[in-house]
């Protein structure tokens, strides 16, 4: 880990030297490429510059609301050429973990989802049965019948072996209580990611970590295993798919406890922090716990090497 982050913005030679050090750039999305649907200045040009220099680009996002194909569409709609194979999201990471790593009893293979369509799509891609999620019948206030049927277990699906939590724009009391009772019955507690906030429109909003925080409180502090950044299960899955040399790879992100931690723990060749998302200034890493190797004001500053 670095004790001092090198500031690159405006330093043409250092930017060129930085880019030349790496063959692969792992790009975080929210807070780096855009804020919500607002693309940051210079993003398209910077990605074009890196590709023109033969760099491999991988989009590594913790945003679980979209599948890989959804992200490919968002990227291309925003003017960023991308293929589905270049996208690796936390929902996909979780689906791979559940289908290929987690060993569940044969009668406990169903996943109860607290989250959006992106999680469901990726579970489908791994043929994992799931309930909850975007089921419209759950978008309502809990009833006295619900209390009774959840308490007795008569409305609970006995095949649920996992509760998987992501960013849920339709979160409610009923859904949290269903998740809690599945967990109480022994379901494995998983999260796509731990991000407590979501950058959008230049400010911060509730993130996936805030969505499952009520369950952590109800469970007396038990936290889910998270399959997004900084999980090294995700790094290993990405490395397995793209076969890159870690010392020649750089993680570019806006969040210290996910993106930069992901790159440091993964012993990548470098970590570049941008100040357009969650992290706002070098003061944010003055405790020395998670210090990027380099930083810029915004991604587009790398155009200094053009
Ligand atoms: O709350 C969340 O899920 C995250 O803030 C968000 O989606 C992170 O996405 P990323 O910055 O990893 O693209
Ligand atoms: Mg981000």
Domain-located, residue 79:
no
Q: Do 68 and 87 meet the contact criterion of CB atoms below 8 Å apart?
A: yes
User: Is 23 assigned a catalytic role?
Assistant: yes
The residue from 23, 146, 257, 284 that is catalytic is: 23
What does residue 190 show for φ and ψ, rounded to 5 degrees?
-125, 150
The angle subtended at Cα 34 by Cα 30 and Cα 204, nearest 5°, is 55
- List pLDDT tens digits, range 53-108: 999 999 999 999 999 999 999 999 999 999 999 999 999 999 999 999 999 999 99
- Range list of H helices, the chain: 12-20, 43-52, 68-77, 90-96, 117-125, 144-152, 173-184, 208-218, 232-242, 261-265
Q: Which domain holds residue 19?
A: 6-62+230-305
Of 226, 256, 288, which residue is a domain's last?
Answer: 226
Q: What is the pLDDT of residues 10-53, one digit of tens each?
A: 999 999 999 999 999 999 999 999 999 999 999 999 999 999 99
User: For the whole model, what pTM was predicted?
Assistant: 0.94
210 CA: nearest ligand 1 atom = 1
Residue 300 domain-assigned (yes or no): yes
**Looking at the domain assignment, is residue 76 inside a domain?**
no
Task: Give burial (CB, 10 Å; 0-12/13-18/19+) of 283.
Answer: exposed
H or E, element range at 223: none
On whether residue 86 sits in a domain, the answer given is: no
Residue 204, SS3 per DSSP:
strand
Q: Which atom of ligand 1 is nearest to the CA of 196?
A: 1
Q: In this structure, what CATH number is given to the domain that contains residue 215?
A: 3.40.50.1000
Residue 71: inside a domain: no
142, 209: one domain: yes
65 CB under 6 A from ligand 1?
A: no
Phi then psi dihedrals of residue 59, to 5 deg: -90, 110
The ipTM value here is: 0.98
Tokens describing residue 249? 């790879």
Q: Could you tell me if residue 14 is inside a domain?
A: yes
Distance 27 CA to ligand 1 centre (A): 12
Amino acid 304: pLDDT = 84
152 and 42 in one domain?
no
- Which residues, including other chains, have CB under 8 Å from residue 106's CB and lie 6 or more apart? none
């Amino acid at each position: 880990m670095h004790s001092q982050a090198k500031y690159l913005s405006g330093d043409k030679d250092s930017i060129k030297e930085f880019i030349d050090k790496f063959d692969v750039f792992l790009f975080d999305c929210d807070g780096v490429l855009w804020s919500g649907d607002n693309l940051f200045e210079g993003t398209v040009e910077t990605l074009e510059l890196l590709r023109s220099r033969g760099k491999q680009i991988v989009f590594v996002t913790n945003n679980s609301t979209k599948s890989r194909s959804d992200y490919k569409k968002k990227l291309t709609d925003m003017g960023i050429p991308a293929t589905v194979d270049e996208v690796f999201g936390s929902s996909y990471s979780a689906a791979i973990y559940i289908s290929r790593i987690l060993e569940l009893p044969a009668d406990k293979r169903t996943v109860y989802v607290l989250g959006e369509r992106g999680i469901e799509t990726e579970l489908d891609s791994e043929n994992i049965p799931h309930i909850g999620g975007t089921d419209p019948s759950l978008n309502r206030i809990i009833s006295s019948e619900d209390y009774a049927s959840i308490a007795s277990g008569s409305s609970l699906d006995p095949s649920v072996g996992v509760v998987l939590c992501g960013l849920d724009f339709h979160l409610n009391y009923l859904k949290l209580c269903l998740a809690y009772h599945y967990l109480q019955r022994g379901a494995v507690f998983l999260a796509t990611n731990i991000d407590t906030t979501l950058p959008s429109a230049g400010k911060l909003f509730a993130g996936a970590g805030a969505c499952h925080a009520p369950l952590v409180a109800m469970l007396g502090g038990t936290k889910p295993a998270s399959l997004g950044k900084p999980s090294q299960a995700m790094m290993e899955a990405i490395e397995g798919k793209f076969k890159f040399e870690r010392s020649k790879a750089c993680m570019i992100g806006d969040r210290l406890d996910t993106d930069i931690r992901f790159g440091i723990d993964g012993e990548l060749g470098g970590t570049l922090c941008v100040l357009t998302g969650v992290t706002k200034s070098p003061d944010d890493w003055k405790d020395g716990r998670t210090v990027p190797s380099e930083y810029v004001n915004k991604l587009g500053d790398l155009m200094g090497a053009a």
